[in-house]
Structure 1
Amino acid sequence: MTDNENAPALRARNLFKIFGKRTQDAVERLRSGTPRDELDPGTTAAVIDASFEVRRGEIFVVMGLSGSGKSTLIRMLNGLLETTSGEIEVGGDEITGVTPSRLRAIRRDRVSMVFQHFALLPHRTVVANVAYPLELRGTSSAERMAKAEEVLDMVGLAGWGDKLPSELSGGMQQRVGIARALAADTDILLMDEAFSALDPLIRREMQEQLLELQRKLRKTIVFITHDLNEAMFLGDRIAVMRDGRIVQIGTPEDILTDPANDYVEQFVQDVDRARVLTAGNVMERPRPVVTESGGPRRALREMRDAYSSAAYVVDRDRRLLGIVNDRDAMKQIRKGDNTLTPILKPVPQSVSRDDVLMDLFVPSVESQLPLAVTDEQGHLVGIIPRITLLAALGPGPSATEEMTLPVPPLSSAEIDEVLGETATAAGDAHAAVLNDATEGEVR
């Protein structure tokens, strides 16, 4: 693999963009600590000392309020605005300071852009708009039209190719803009407030479609937005800008749970956490867990130690097989049967570690046990008690509190009796308290 293939998809080093006179002097003053608002009159620092890398195949979101410098930054990334100072690399190749013809070639072949207000050619049909980047490359008419039709189908606009942009809704026009960028087949897509002009419902639909396309195509996307919920929903990583500077870069979880300063903390306080945090963010160590070969005695001990009425059963590779409850395990012991298979029950609910909390409420309510979290191979990687799910959304009970189960667990005394074990003095005292609390319900 070459150095360029090992390089990030995009790299920015110490970028400055100054508008006005004596721009290099302004850069030096900013580097020495002069505040942005103390520069000479008529001099505006739009981007100040911005450095970051965008990994191949990720959605990197740059977000901030109006005037934060995010739109200026994205125009620097494809050379629409010349940098005042700093360096930009695309796939390891420097694009700052190159000749105009070289810059045009990079924009044509390696970087596409989707604009906020669509920027479609009004006199061209939808399919001709999508095919336009290929036309600029000199691709044959038949080939570019075939590619355009293929991409239109991908974005849900099959059959609309012969319409004019004016005949389409705003959401459909933005799909054409995305299709045009995809038809260019560049490594990098720059999206500048691409969905902000759309109605909320259409906007959400477009966000979901972008993620679906990304799962299939694995493009490198730099997405600009002022909407934090949109940033959290789309971004693999997020760069937060304020007054021309990047103040924090991190995953949505990093930004939400560990804000770098008061500004970011205030920014994220109204975020819909249920749409950002995932099962993997809040899951706890799975317990009680027993292997299928462990037998009912081992299962009953694990349940006793965890004060639970059921245990998860896994195979040797920790793939989740099902659950057993304490009463069925006790019956197996009394029958003299040392296997768990006859009493194994299906797991009521299991979820993926990537599922957002919003999608876990219904499964959690319907399940009598904490939700089991499994990976792609079905391995048990964690559990989410209902109280943990609620605590993750804001102030409330501790996430480690015991979840109340519909059927109380057997008392320690009952379990010890069946296992033929003698509790310690401390254990006897605890068993007596637990037995007093549960005897009337269990008997």
Structure 2
Amino acid sequence: MRTHGLIGLLIILLLSACSGGESTPGLSEVTSKEWTDIEASAEDTTVRLFMWGGDEGINQYIDDWVSPRLAENHNVTLERVPMNTGEILQKLQTEKQAGKTEGTIDIVWINAENFKNAKENELLAGSFVDSLPNFNDYYQTDDPAFQTDFGTDVDGMEAPWGKVQFVFHYDAAKVDNPPSSFEELKAWTAENPGKFTYPNADDFTGNAFLRHILYAQAESPSAIYDQPLDEEAISETADDTWKYLNEMEPSLWRSGDHYPNTLTELDRLYSQGEVWMTMGYNEARAESLIDEGVFPETTRSFVMDPGSIGNTHFLSIPFNSTNQAGALTAINFMLSPEAQLAKLKPNYWGENTPISIEKLPEDMKEKFQSVERGESVLSQQELEESFLPESEAAYVDWMKEQWFNEVVQN
């Protein structure tokens, strides 16, 4: 009898565990509902947005603009939780391995190799973008930039939140004519020793700078971004890249003995006048730093031949979000014309938008077109003419390893 009692107790526990796992509906079940029902389910709930928190302008946009309006319009409380994306994915991976079906993350800001890793490890809830009214109404839904993310098929698992383009910043009070090509950059660095450097390859920005060099050394940039990584096929281009970087190294800040670990460190060197250039994704990021007195007022930006890499970044929903309706409502709101317009203005973030201006109502179209992004921001025409797509995500990790072997240890 005691044995039977133990077996019965185990059966009850197993059934309880199964029913507990089914208490949170799957994402497809939620997205199959009418949108008004999804929004109604989201009311009076809290949505936790985990995202990189290293930019105060971005943080202020979320905290001071998005959160209060989401609460006012939808009765949804948005909590921003700052955390590096790699740490977010590690947290989700640990929870996945532990079978934790009720997590603490409802939305994650993601793209590139982080999206690839999350998708491959089944850390995301599934496809949802087709259910978002604002995506369908105001975005070019078949835009290739929304279909792949650094070469990984999106499959509707992340919603386009913004797009950025890589630019270089310089102090016009110290630099009369910035370089127009990467060959000119190397020559400028030799003529101005110690006044240029770049973050190391582990840093997102530093890695992108190095991929620009790879593009520049190729017969054409498309030989890199149109092809999957094939180390043998690009060996000559890679050799030219390491040669370029090693030849430049003695002229870098501290003669290349130390590379900034982060973009924040490089920005600090620039703000203190130790170097005369910095760089980064987001063509308008200097505006808020100028306003805050971090960057000199004479900061301007430039791009170089053969072009400037740009990409789209996204919002996604983790596999164990306990508030999928809230997450959908918040993401849809952040894709709205009103939220995108506020994000475009330089007083918060100043970032470009993936929204299709031509699909907007006339009054909203005029508001977008009248935004003054700031004196340090290049014209939209110059940015569009210089735009280069990202290569597949595999190049990021390859660059980290090879740069260390071929440049740091050389």
Highest RCO, 1 vs 2 (Cα 8 Å, sep ≥ 6) = 2
TM-score, with length taken from structure 2: 0.28
Name the larger-Rg structure.
Answer: 1
Q: Normalising to structure 1: TM-score of the pair?
A: 0.26
Higher helix fraction (1 or 2): 2
